[in-house]
Chains A and B, each alone.
Chain A
Amino acid sequence: MADRRYTKTHEWVTVDGKHATIGITDFAQSQLGDVVFLELPSAGRKVAARETFGVIESVKAASDLYSPVAGKISEVNEKLASKPELINSDPYGEGWILKLELAGDLPADLLDEAAYKKVAEASSH
């Protein structure tokens, strides 16, 4: 999808009007390895841009999840509780994590695909 934007902390976001969908990138899932657990907030919570909203765990690693945008959580991907492997198999599709109702403008520092590719290359040394 052309309108997918990225963060330096390896999350992606797509925007459709006032609605945003968030996940982690293919690069992030490959670095993390097989995902075994996600600790996620409930719908209704408000998050700020770059705020930590949860944790993602593999057997050997754990990392915080940061929201690329500000807004109110409208939906959490319930399937991930029983099938965390969706993050690995389909990070941009069935492995989405949150849906948000956007509040305010998009942060200026979101990256496009080309810019993110450079970030990923730099961190995979």
Chain B
Amino acid sequence: MPYLVHSPEDRSAMLETLGVRSMNDLLVDIPQSLRLESLQLPNGLSEFETMAQVSSLAERNHVYPDRLTFRGGGIYRRFIPAAVSAVTSKPEFYTAYTPYQAEASQGTLQAIFEFQTLIAELTALDVSNASLYDGATAVAEAAMMAYVHTGRNEVLVSGYVHPEYVQVLRAFGEGRGIKVRKGAEPNKKTAAIIFQQPDFLGLLVDARRLTQAAHDVGALAIACVDPISLAMLAPPGEYGADIAVGEGQQLGLSPSFGGPHVGFIACKRELVRKLPGRLVGTAHDAHGRRGFVLALAAREQHIRREKATSNICTNHSLCALAAAVYLTYMGPYGLRQIADVSFRRAHSLADRLARLQGWEPAFPERQFLNEFPFRVPKARSVVRKLARKGILGGLEVNRWFRELKDVLTFTCTEVNDPQALDELMAVLES
């Protein structure tokens, strides 16, 4: 059988050492009435047959080429350097466990420490944790921090924050009695204002004003940010946000039907003790050598149990490693170029779309980076027509926002080359 190592002779020898006749003698504690004859599952397959079955499922999906993908909504096609998977597919990284024994886990610990520093640098905040599950749970965890820090139980969601992030925030909030309000004015009960920069539609918000509005009532400002945009935009730490969170998929991770990716969270120094999840810090051994250890563990569930700041145990280390390799590969100027190319192409596309009969920007007065909303005639049939030509067109946002009927958001990145833009326009013009 695959992956099992004992031979029948090994099993007999082990049973003999134990002084028992059969496996049943080791399972005596299980009530007889609970014992199964067998599992109601087919028998196992050879690797060849296994892959044939799994591949046939993969082939039943339609994959759009990255250059012809103009749909984002939180997951983006980006160029992924080969270095990323070359590192993450090293078994020393992907088959290691959470680094409890620091001396035998320095590779993972140092990589996480570098990730923490990279995120802190990008967001211009003091400290980042080792990662969270995704952007949505990162928003929810940040709201919990604000609740604990301020002792207030309302959080305000400002503008078009990713609708799935808000749904997750609501589900988290319900357990702790936290109210999630949209479009309301901040007041003395407000624990935090949460905004997304750029927002779910791709539009830029006035992050400075929102941060100030939060601080005016003694609330925290939580900025949900696109990590690549931070090569270009003023970072949360610069405009005074207290916590920055976000989805790190764009940092070297494939779309994978939505996961696994990586959430990140960084905050000001005075909030660090409330930060959920793992943190890695430096320490020294008796010979004065520098090493890395899990730090501030006494905040965590395995020590504080029901008093812990969060229940998170597993994080997304391997995805954080991918993000670290990606950011190190790009460096400050590579990342800026990626952001810049995406910006120019998206603006060029927006100009061309605006010339189509009946097409107009949904929010003409608002600025954007590389994703933007257009009001178009018969959005659904536009998307279908593009699909027939092998193009993954804009995202219909009406399914989440009733007021945005016939609005499509289009996204452009460095993978959508100028010919791809021409192909998209040719279909739309036909």
Query: Closest chain B residue to A52 by CB distance?
Result: B307
Segment of A9-17, A59-67, A103-111 in the binding face? A59-67
A57 in contact (CB, < 8 A): yes
Enumerate chain A residues within 8 angstroms of B307, measured Cβ to Cβ: 62, 64
A58 in contact (CB, < 8 A): yes
Enumerate chain B residues within 8 angstroms of A60, measured Cβ to Cβ: 297-298, 303
Query: In the complex, how many residues of chain B place their beta carbon closer than 8 angstroms to a beta carbon of chain A?
Result: 7
CA of A58 to CA of B273 in the docked complex: distance in angstroms?
A: 14
B292–chain A nearest beta-carbon distance, Å: 15
CA of A37 to CA of B298 in the docked complex: distance in angstroms?
A: 10
Enumerate chain B residues within 8 angstroms of A37, measured Cβ to Cβ: 298
Enumerate chain B residues within 8 angstroms of A62, measured Cβ to Cβ: 298-299, 303-304, 307
Enumerate chain B residues within 8 angstroms of A59, measured Cβ to Cβ: 297-298
A88–chain B nearest beta-carbon distance, Å: 16
Tally the A-B contacts, defined by beta carbons under 8 Å: 18
Enumerate chain A residues within 8 angstroms of B297, measured Cβ to Cβ: 59-60
In the complex, which residues 263-292 of chain B have their Cβ closer than 8 Å to any Cβ of chain A?
Answer: 273
Query: Closest chain B residue to A62 by CB distance?
Result: B298
CA of A64 to CA of B303 in the docked complex: distance in angstroms?
A: 12
A31–chain B nearest beta-carbon distance, Å: 14
CA of A57 to CA of B308 in the docked complex: distance in angstroms?
A: 13
CA of A85 to CA of B303 in the docked complex: distance in angstroms?
A: 20
Enumerate chain B residues within 8 angstroms of A57, measured Cβ to Cβ: 298
Query: Closest chain A residue to B293 by CB distance?
Result: A59
CA of A61 to CA of B297 in the docked complex: distance in angstroms?
A: 9
Most chain B beta carbons < 10 A, residue from A57, A60, A64: A57
CA of A58 to CA of B298 in the docked complex: distance in angstroms?
A: 7
B303–chain A nearest beta-carbon distance, Å: 6
Query: Closest chain A residue to B295 by CB distance?
Result: A59
B99–chain A nearest beta-carbon distance, Å: 15
CA of A61 to CA of B303 in the docked complex: distance in angstroms?
A: 6
In the complex, which residues 295-353 of chain B have their Cβ closer than 8 Å to any Cβ of chain A?
Answer: 297-299, 303-304, 307
CA of A36 to CA of B299 in the docked complex: distance in angstroms?
A: 12
A56–chain B nearest beta-carbon distance, Å: 9
A7–chain B nearest beta-carbon distance, Å: 19
Most chain A beta carbons < 10 A, residue from B273, B298, B303, B307: B298
Enumerate chain B residues within 8 angstroms of A36, measured Cβ to Cβ: 298
CA of A39 to CA of B272 in the docked complex: distance in angstroms?
A: 13
Enumerate chain A residues within 8 angstroms of B299, measured Cβ to Cβ: 62
18 examples of A-B residue contacts, CB within 8 angstroms: A36-B298, A37-B298, A39-B273, A57-B298, A58-B298, A59-B297, A59-B298, A60-B297, A60-B298, A60-B303, A61-B298, A61-B303, A62-B298, A62-B299, A62-B303, A62-B304, A62-B307, A64-B307
Closest 7 CB pairs of A and B: A62-B298, A57-B298, A62-B303, A62-B304, A61-B303, A61-B298, A59-B298
Beyond contacts A59-B298, A62-B307: 7 other A-B pairs, Cβ-Cβ < 8 A, are A36-B298, A58-B298, A59-B297, A60-B303, A61-B298, A62-B298, A62-B304
